Amino acid sequence: MGQTRRKLTVEVPEDLLERALDASGEGITQTVRRGLTLVATGRSYDALRKLRGKVRLKINLDKLREDR
């Protein structure tokens, strides 16, 4: 809703496209969208990994489990 979309023309190796389509089980558009999402989220994971050991959390697991 309200998202601007762009139409793309890209050239990709046929074997790569076929493998991606087989892996996703979806059409070309959804496969490309999923691939772009994976690239974008990969950067977020890299940023989170850089924080490893630098953020101190105080978590009371027993307290968290009380609402179960």
Q: How far apart are CA 8 and CA 60, in angstroms?
A: 49
How many of the other CB atoms lie within 10 Å of CB of 26? 13
Q: What is the domain partition of the chain in residue ranges?
A: 14-65
Cα–Cα distances in angstroms (integers) from residue 65 to residues 49, 57, 58, in the given order: 26, 17, 15
Instruction: Note the pLDDT tens digit of each residue in 32-54.
Output: 999 999 998 988 888 888 888 88
How many of the other CB atoms lie within 10 Å of CB of 20? 16
Residue located via tokens 């089980």? 25
Instruction: Note the pLDDT tens digit of each residue in 8-33.
Output: 999 999 999 999 999 999 999 999 99
pTM of the model: 0.62
